[in-house]
Amino acid sequence: MKPASKTPDWVLAALEERHQQNLMRRTITLESPQVPHAQIASQDYTAFCSNDYLGLANHPSLIKAMNDTAETYGVGGGSSHLVCGHLAPHQALEEALADWLGYERVMLFSTGYMANLGVISALADKNRPVVQDKLNHASLIDGALLAQAPLRRYLHGDVASVQKLLTKSSAAGLLVTDGVFSMDGDIAPLAELSQLANQYDWMFMVDDAHGLGCLGENGRGCLSLEGLDSASLPILVGTFGKAFGTAGAFVATSHDYADYLTQFARPYVYTTAMSPAVAGATLASLQLIQSVEGQERREKLARHISYFRQRMQSLPVELIPSNTAIQPVVIGDSKTAIAISEQLKTLGIWCTAIRPPTVPVGSARLRITLSAAHSDEDLMLLCDSLEKVLTAKLLSAKRLNPM
């Protein structure tokens, strides 16, 4: 019998280092739908860590649309969009998104990560640099690395830092930012960035994964909040796994850029299209987002955000300025953040501690995310629980470090 292969020492050493630093990641299994009152490990919790901001992931209209679409078009895409995988539900969704956002074309991708990899690796190269916010999502950074493009990262949200980098660059390239930053919940200064991109003749790209559906007129996200359009924001990426409650992603752009990406965006060219059933469910989600019900859900979410921030003001933690569904409570060190997360679980609150390298060292946090599906009672339970746990933490710290 052939002996079992030995795990390399460097793999074991890397895992041990993660253990020692309280940074080990583990998968949890949800035993219920993606709803606020979730079941995990046979226990009931009120969850505050899902990106299902509008509470659509388990909406009956989406479930019906998925089932109806599957009955007509099946479940699998079968091929890439460019071979024979572009079905009628994909085309209908692309056209509806383009009309909603005011762009000439929309292209669907399997995930937001692949959309960002595809766009940046196609548009940037050794002669076309990339300038990005320091807190951009990993997929945006990885897109530049895949392109082997010169990469410079500006101070978070700092327009002067952007201008300095653009001025020093010997060639025009791609300026990239998140719309809403996934770990901080703040919004990029998109109007000013757009002006700089235009002034220096740079391409401008925004990933608005966490803004679309939740923010702006008709849920059109940061594009609407900042008064931008397809001319001032030529490349817009959005995802369906957040406010839309489904899965997949898209790029909204011009005919010329779309034609170019169709030729050179490898994750688009060489990936099987998303399930047509998911496309059908996403179209139903878009219709909900544009409806009266969608507006009511956005208004409810805004009330939750206001209530949460008002309640948190008196507590001994750093609350990052954010008017979005992402409400980070910065704890500091990873061990303490994990301990607080575990204490909250004993009170029926599920909120995962986020640690480096996802966030900078020394800024481990509870990334609390609010949803329109939460009730007022859910928000009260969350705030009461945080008040109890964080106040106890402050008293303990005073006992350990008396004046």
Report the CATH number that the domain containing residue 231 is assigned in CATH: 3.40.640.10
> Is-catalytic flag, 291?
no
Residue 87 Cα distances to 45, 77, 245, angstroms: 39, 8, 21
Let me know whether 205 and 340 are in one domain.
no
pLDDT, position 190: 98
> Is-catalytic flag, 335?
no
Q: How far apart are CA 380 and CA 68, in angstroms?
A: 38
**Length of the chain counted residue by residue:** 403
Let me know whether 44 and 94 are in one domain.
no
Dump strand ranges (E) for 293-350: 318-319, 326-332, 349-350
Place of tokens 């091929």: 79
Let me know whether 239 and 388 are in one domain.
no
Q: Please pick, among 59, 210, 300, 374, the residue that the annotation labels catalytic.
A: 210
Dump strand ranges (E) for 169-255: 174-178, 203-207, 235-239, 249-253
Place of tokens 């056209």: 95
Q: Which of 261, 290, 319 is the last residue of a domain?
A: 290
Strand-pairing partners, residue 137, are none
Q: Any known ligand binding at 113?
A: yes
Let me know whether 241 and 304 are in one domain.
no
Q: Are strands 349-350 and 43-47 parallel, antiparallel or unpaired?
A: parallel
**Domain assignment present for 6:** no
Question: With contact defined as beta carbons under 8 Å apart, do 100 and 185 qualify?
Answer: no
Number of structural domains, the chain?
Answer: 2
Question: With contact defined as beta carbons under 8 Å apart, do 381 and 349 qualify?
Answer: yes
pLDDT, position 28: 83
Q: Which of 290, 307, 340 is the last residue of a domain?
A: 290
pLDDT, position 1: 62
Q: How far apart are CA 46 and CA 349, in angstroms?
A: 5
Structure-block tokens of residue 75: 């479940």
Q: Where does residue 310 rank: exposed (0-12), middle (13-18), buried (19+ CB within 10 A)? A: exposed
Q: What are phi and psi of 201, to 5 degrees?
A: 65, 40
Query: How is residue 218 annotated by DSSP?
Result: G
Question: With contact defined as beta carbons under 8 Å apart, do 364 and 331 qualify?
Answer: yes
- Please compute, for residue 220, the number of CA atoms within 13 A of its CA located in the half-sphere on the CB side: 19
Task: Classify 130 as helix, strand or coil.
Answer: strand
If we measure between CA atoms, which residue out of 268, 267, 147, 138 comes closest to residue 203?
147
Let me know whether 285 and 181 are in one domain.
yes
pLDDT, position 317: 81
Let me know whether 221 and 352 are in one domain.
no
**Domain assignment present for 7:** no
If we measure between CA atoms, which residue out of 279, 328, 336 comes closest to residue 308?
328
Strand-pairing partners, residue 131, are 152, 175
Let me know whether 148 and 228 are in one domain.
yes
Let me know whether 32 and 79 are in one domain.
no
Q: Any known ligand binding at 72?
A: no
pLDDT, position 31: 86
Q: Please pick, among 50, 121, 139, 182, the residue that the annotation labels catalytic.
A: 182
pLDDT, position 17: 92
If we measure between CA atoms, which residue out of 285, 271, 241, 281 comes closest to residue 75?
281
Q: Any known ligand binding at 19?
A: no
Per-residue pLDDT of the chain (403 residues; tens, 9 = 90+): 666 779 999 999 999 999 898 888 888 888 888 899 999 888 999 999 999 999 999 999 999 999 999 999 999 999 999 999 999 999 999 999 999 999 999 999 999 999 999 999 999 999 999 999 999 999 999 999 999 999 999 999 999 999 999 999 999 999 999 999 999 999 999 999 999 999 999 999 999 999 999 999 999 999 999 999 999 999 999 999 999 999 999 999 999 999 999 999 999 999 999 999 999 999 999 999 999 999 999 999 999 999 999 999 888 788 889 999 999 999 988 999 999 999 999 999 999 999 999 898 998 999 999 999 999 999 999 999 999 998 877 656 544 444 4
Q: Any known ligand binding at 182?
A: yes
CATH code at 305? 3.90.1150.10
Helix axes 190-200, 159-168, angle to 10 degrees: 10
pLDDT, position 307: 97
- Please compute, for residue 155, the number of CA atoms within 13 A of its CA located in the half-sphere on the CB side: 6
Range of the domain at 358: 28-57+295-398
Q: Please pick, among 59, 242, 304, 393, the residue that the annotation labels catalytic.
A: 242
Exposure string (b/e) for 268-279, b if CB count within 10 Å is 16 or more? bbebebbbbbbb
Q: Which of 246, 265, 290 is the last residue of a domain?
A: 290
Q: How far apart are CA 121 and CA 65, in angstroms?
A: 34
Q: Any known ligand binding at 210?
A: yes
> Is-catalytic flag, 182?
yes
Let me know whether 231 and 155 are in one domain.
yes
